[in-house]
Amino acid sequence: IHIHYGLSALFLLFFRPKKKIFVTFHGADILKEQGHYIQVLISKYIAKKVDKVFILNDEMEVIMKKLKVPYEILPCGVDTDFFKDTVAQNKPDNSKLLLFSGDPERTVKNYPLFEKIVENIKTKTNTNILVDCVHNKNREQVREILNQADCLVMTSFSEGSPQIVKEALSCNLPVVSVPVGDIPTVINGISSCYAASGHHANELADLTLLAIENRSNSVREEFLNKKLYENKYICSKIYQNYINN
């Protein structure tokens, strides 16, 4: 039995099947910084009820070490055959489209910082800056907007291993991010992608300008060359855990 997300394993509080049980924590269910404190408490208890925990980043690893439970860092994979650079851009001339990573209403996503970055950029360039959000869109619409955009800007206070980052890279889209989740590791070594030192609007604006003004066309290629985040690779790692634990 492989359970995704802590709350989905609530039944383990009352009944533990005589099967191998694995759980993948995704972020809000184990990171208190995302504000779901009761979920975090439940997830910590559940972690001690399963055979192995899959986690997404180093921050989660610290928690697992304190709990002294078997774990492995194994982020979710991305469908690189679906998310690719196939849709032609359709923007006005002299325009650049910046993407926000989620729902502006979710406090943890830190939309006010994104707004400050955009305003900062507008003071430094004559380019027309457009913005959009990856929210309330189906997979096809997400792929389309990732292909139309010039940069994905991540400003969250807390993350696990956001799929949107891997989907963007797979679509050949540069990513600029605050140092959160596993994003600095995912984008490390990929052209036109930058992890800031903190949540500073001026630095993030400068990095975003650098990304869009010197945009590389090898983002997807360099991402795929890592061979760490494709669905086939992740599935093979999970399968090995199933048969070896």
Which tokens is 71 given? 């774990």
pLDDT score, position 37: 87
Q: What is the mean pLDDT of residues 92-107?
A: 91
Tell me the residue range of the domain where 54 lies.
2-77+230-244
Q: Is residue 150 part of a domain?
A: yes
What would the pLDDT profile of 61-99 be if each residue is shown by its tens digit?
999 999 999 999 999 999 999 999 986 666 667 899 999
Give the whole-angstrom CA distance, residue 82 versus residue 85: 9
Give the whole-angstrom CA distance, residue 108 versus residue 33: 8
Confidence of residue 33 (pLDDT cuts 50, 70, 90): confident
Q: What proportion of the chain, given as a percentage, has pLDDT over 70? A: 98
- Regarding whether 201 and 102 lie in a shared domain, the answer is yes
pLDDT score, position 35: 73
Q: Is residue 70 part of a domain?
A: yes
Give the whole-angstrom CA distance, residue 86 versus residue 28: 33
Number of structural domains (the chain) is 2
pLDDT score, position 129: 95
What's the burial of 89, exposed, middle or buried (CB within 10 Å: 0-12/13-18/19+)? exposed
- Regarding whether 236 and 221 lie in a shared domain, the answer is no
Q: Is residue 87 part of a domain?
A: no
Q: What is the mean pLDDT of residues 101-116?
A: 95
Which tokens is 89 given? 């851009």
Give the whole-angstrom CA distance, residue 1 versus residue 18: 10
What would the pLDDT profile of 182-231 be if each residue is shown by its tens digit?
999 999 999 999 999 999 999 999 999 999 999 999 999 999 999 999 99
pLDDT score, position 89: 64
pLDDT score, position 52: 96
- Regarding whether 198 and 115 lie in a shared domain, the answer is yes
pLDDT score, position 34: 78
Helix (H) or strand (E) holding 71: strand 71-73
> Does the pLDDT value for residue 112 go beyond 90?
yes
**What's the whole-model pTM score?**
0.89
- Regarding whether 114 and 190 lie in a shared domain, the answer is yes
pLDDT score, position 90: 66
Helices 37-47 and 58-67 cross at an angle (nearest 10°) of 60
- Regarding whether 238 and 197 lie in a shared domain, the answer is no
Helix (H) or strand (E) holding 46: helix 37-47
Neighbours of 135 (CB within 10 A): 14
For residue 95, the Cα-to-chain-centroid distance in whole angstroms is: 26
Q: What are phi and psi of 90, to 5 degrees?
A: -140, 80
Neighbours of 144 (CB within 10 A): 16
Closest to 63 (Cα-Cα) out of 158, 157, 154: 158
- Regarding whether 108 and 55 lie in a shared domain, the answer is no
